[in-house]
Amino acid sequence: MEPVTRAVGSLALTVIEALRSFTELFLTQPLTATLSLLEETDLRTLDADDRVFKARELWESSGAVIIAPQLEERGVALVAVVKENMASEIQDFRAYFNGEIFLDQQRGFYGPQERWMGVSGILRAGVWMNGWRAYQSGYWGNVRGEGFVLGAVYVIGPGQQGILLEHREMEFGDKVKKSDDLEGVCVGLWSAGVCVVVVYVLLANTDLFLTKPDRASLDRLASAELRSTAGDEGNLKAVSLWERTGAVIMAEASDLSSLKPQLEERGVALVAVVKENMASEIQDFRAYFNGEIFLDQQMCFYGVKRRTMRSLGFARFGVWRNLLQVWRRGYHGNRKGEGFVLGGLYVIGPENQGILLEHHEKEFGDKADLTAVRTAVSRIQKTEETQDN
């Protein structure tokens, strides 16, 4: 399983890098802001006086951080600028921001060249992470106004100190990195983990990791030792099940009891073989199967090469669908014994007619097609002995 895990991990990282590189093609690279451009930007207050002033007033005496952590100890102003004021948007934002908020209708603080992120944001793991983080913090946002413009953070010193830090969003919710880029590492690892799981589930639902079954030989099946479960505990060779009339033999959880009348009309036996008999397992199974049941301890009817499905089964949609169907019919099974081996179904004609249909489960609950079973049964030719009877 280790090579598979490595392959899935490598593929996931490749997918992440491919999506990141692909979406980067649609991102406008930011231009470095100039102090002269920022300080001449007109800002509007959002309180009762509705005053318009030049942005340089924010930092010319004490410096300012435009959207950043609180810096009261250093006497530095904490300021937010927004590009629009729709309905109660600003009022809702005040619950999450402890500082003054101004309206930048010229969008001077959104860059010398305005940058947007459209549908490419859907493909970026970081966007989903940032959206989930905002949702967990209780901020739902709204669908009003124009929400595609990318913003920025500036630390500007007083006087002629200029712009000390300039951070541009590369995607929605892209914050200024903390020490050692710890947050970025955590987001990257979380995103990688999600992508690994997604890729694993997608690959698990293909046939890529399934062991291919080998075709059964009639000689091997005919020589299998079977034990009766009817109480007499007698042993018999499997060939006796079909040598006169043919038989449908199931080593899987197929719902073939509905075919019993058709099989009886043609004189064909319906038989189930199981690999073990734990507690009342077979007795419980009789309520769902109308035919003889034999114990195949050698597991001859489970394939030339024994195939199992373990953790892979939990990732396959078909397995969960099949389990739900069985559960709705009232069969809950048990957790005893060995439940990972995949079975099969055989339609075998009498004498030398051979195996007319061979079906191998590729996942738990993968049933043989009833139409294919009927067709195979119709091909069984009666022997002279059965015709005389």
Among residues 204, 237, 266, the one where a domain terminates is 204
What integer is the mean pLDDT of 329-337?
60
Place of tokens 């690999």: 275
Distance CA 224, CA 84 (A): 80
- The tens digit of pLDDT for each residue in 204-216 reads 777 777 778 888 8
34: CATH: 3.40.30
Q: Are 124 and 23 in contact (CB under 8 A)?
A: yes
Among residues 146, 179, 204, the one where a domain terminates is 204
Q: Please tell me the total count of domains within the chain.
A: 2
Residues 158 and 10 occupy one common structural domain: yes
Residues 141 and 224 occupy one common structural domain: no
User: Which sign does the torsion angle of CA 124, 128, 133, 138 carry?
Assistant: positive
Residues 223 and 245 occupy one common structural domain: yes
Position 90 confidence tier, pLDDT thresholds 50, 70, 90? confident
CA distances to 175, 299, 310 from 296, rounded to whole Å, are: 63, 5, 21
Residue with the larger pLDDT of the pair 222 and 325: 222
pLDDT of residue 362: 83
238: CATH: 3.40.30.10
Residues 28 and 165 occupy one common structural domain: yes
Q: Which of 25-29, 116-120, 260-264, 310-314 has the lowest mean pLDDT?
A: 25-29
Burial class (CB within 10 angstroms; exposed 0-12, middle 13-18, buried 19+) of 113: exposed
Note whether residue 78 is domain-resident. yes
Residues 84 and 156 occupy one common structural domain: yes
Burial 62-79 (b: 16+ CB within 10 A, else e): ebbbbbbeeeeeeebbbb
Residues 32 and 169 occupy one common structural domain: yes
Q: Given a cut of 50, is residue 184 above it in pLDDT?
A: no
- The tens digit of pLDDT for each residue in 343-367 reads 889 999 998 899 999 988 888 878 8
Residue with the larger pLDDT of the pair 118 and 245: 245
pLDDT of residue 57: 85
Note whether residue 212 is domain-resident. no
Residues 275 and 365 occupy one common structural domain: yes
Q: Given a cut of 90, is residue 336 above it in pLDDT?
A: no
pLDDT of residue 70: 44
Q: Given a cut of 70, is residue 377 above it in pLDDT?
A: yes
Note whether residue 336 is domain-resident. yes
pLDDT of residue 3: 54
Position 67 confidence tier, pLDDT thresholds 50, 70, 90? low
Question: Which residues pair with residue 155 across a beta bridge?
Answer: 65, 165
What integer is the mean pLDDT of 101-112?
84
Note whether residue 209 is domain-resident. no
Element (H, E) at 307: none
Residues 148 and 61 occupy one common structural domain: yes
Distance CA 152, CA 37 (A): 14
Q: Given a cut of 60, is residue 248 above it in pLDDT?
A: yes
What integer is the mean pLDDT of 111-121?
73
Residues 198 and 223 occupy one common structural domain: no
- The tens digit of pLDDT for each residue in 138-167 reads 766 665 666 678 888 888 888 778 888 888
Report the percentage of the chain scoring pLDDT > 90: 4
pLDDT of residue 348: 92
What integer is the mean pLDDT of 41-45?
85
Note whether residue 382 is domain-resident. yes
Phi, psi values for residue 262, rounded to 5°: -65, -40
pLDDT of residue 69: 41
Residues 260 and 348 occupy one common structural domain: yes
**The domain containing residue 69 runs over which residues?**
2-204
Note whether residue 213 is domain-resident. no
Residues 165 and 269 occupy one common structural domain: no
List of residues 6+ apart from 293 with CB closer than 8 A: 229, 230, 271, 272, 273, 274, 282, 285, 286
Residues 239 and 280 occupy one common structural domain: yes
